[in-house]
Amino acid sequence: MSAGPLGSTFDPHSPEAVAICTLFGRTLGVCAVIGAVVAGLVVTCILRFRASKRPDVPVQTHGNRSLEIAWTLVPLAIVVGLFVLTAGAMAASDPPGDRAPDIVVVGHQWWWEARYASGAVTANEIHVPVGKDLLVRVESTDVIHDFWVPQLGRKVDAVPGHPYSISMQADAPGTYRGACAEYCGSEHAWMRILVIAQPQAEFDAWDRHQRQPAALPALPSAEATRGEVDFRGKTCVSCHAIGGERPPAQVAPDLTHLAQRTTLGAGVLANDPEKLALWLHDPQGVKPGSHMPDLHLSEPEVNDLTAYLETLR
C-alpha cells in the first residue's frame, strides 16, 4: 500500500471524530438557516421597498424597544446555542490527561516515530487495537508539525518542548490515512501517517513481535549476510536502530521490522524490494532534502542491503 488520499472528516470512525463531524453538521445547519433568513429578508426588502413605490425617507424605527430587544436576544441565543454544542463536542473529544500515554508520537523532518508504552517502536505506521480509547502524546524534535488522521479526530500540533495529548480510538478495523498538517519544510507533503486498527488479539501479537528482534532466516542468503555487514560498515547504524539497541531519541526510522511496513519514506514509496533498492540507491532523488544522505552505494551493495533489510520481518 502506498499513500492514497486522506480519509474524510465526513466519514468519522472514532467517538472524537463523530463529535467533531456532528458539531460541524449542526453549526452548518444553524448557519444555513441564518443565511436563508438574511437572504430572504434582503430579497423581500429589494422587492417591497423599491424607490419607485415609496417616498424618499422610509418610516424610522429609532427607539423601537421591542425591535432592539429582539435583535439583541436572538443573536445571543444563537451564539449561546453554538457555544453549548461546541462545549459538548470538546468534552467528547478532549483527552483524559491524567494518565500515562499509551503511545508517544514524535514528529521529525519528515517522518513520524511511534513509541509504545510496551516498549515497541516503529515509524509512520501506527498499529492500534480496535475500540480502545488510547491516550497519544504528540511531540516534535525539530520544528512544529501537526498530527492529523481525519477519520480519527482533531488535528494536534507537534510542538518542540511542549507535548500535547489526544484521545485516539478506532471504532472499526482498517487503515486510516493521515498526514502532517502544518507546513514544516520541503518534504512536508511526504509526512504521511497510517493508523492500522486491528482486533485486540492481532494487535497484541504485533506489539509482542515489535519488541523482539526480527526472526532471521536459519540460512540467510549470501547477499543478506553481506548486507548485514554493510549495514554496520556503511554508517547506517549511526542513524538507524535494528533490534536491541534502540536509542531514546531517534534520528531516523527504526528498521527492526522494516519489511513488515507497507510504505517507505513516510508514504513516498510502497515498500517492496524494488522500491527499497531505489530508496537506498538514491534517497535524495526520491525525497529531495530528506535527512537520509546519499551514501553513494554501489549496485552490489544496494542489492545486498536490500536482501538483508527484506529479512527484517
Query: Which ranges of the chain would DSSP assign to H, the alpha helix?
Result: 15-48, 65-93, 200-210, 222-233, 273-281, 283-286, 299-310
**With contacts defined by CB under 6 A, how many residues of the chain interact with ligand HEC?**
31
Q: Which stretch binds ligand HEC (CB under 6 A): 12-20, 88-96, 127-135, 236-244?
A: 236-244
Query: Which amino acid is it at 307?
Result: A
- Coil/strand/helix, residue 146: strand
Binding mask 185-224 for ligand HEC (x = CB under 6 A): --x-------------------------------------
Distance between CA atoms of residues 192 and 179, nearest Å: 4
Quick one: 104 or 224, whose CB is closer to Cu ion? 104
Cα Rg of the chain, angstroms: 27
Q: Does 293 bind ligand HEC (CB under 6 A)?
A: yes
- The set of cell numbers assigned to 261 is 511496513
CB count in 10 Å sphere of residue 211: 13
Q: Does 121 bind ligand HEC (CB under 6 A)?
A: no
Q: Does 291 bind ligand HEC (CB under 6 A)?
A: yes
Which of 108, 115, 127, 145 contacts Cu ion by CB under 5 A? 145
**With contacts defined by CB under 5 A, how many residues of the chain interact with Cu ion?**
4
- The set of cell numbers assigned to 164 is 500535547
How does DSSP classify residue 128? Answer: E
Quick one: 137 or 261, whose CB is closer to ligand HEC? 261
Contacts with ligand HEC, residue ranges (CB under 6 A): 110-111, 123-124, 187, 231, 234-236, 238-240, 251-253, 255, 258, 261, 264-266, 279-280, 287, 290-293, 295, 305, 309
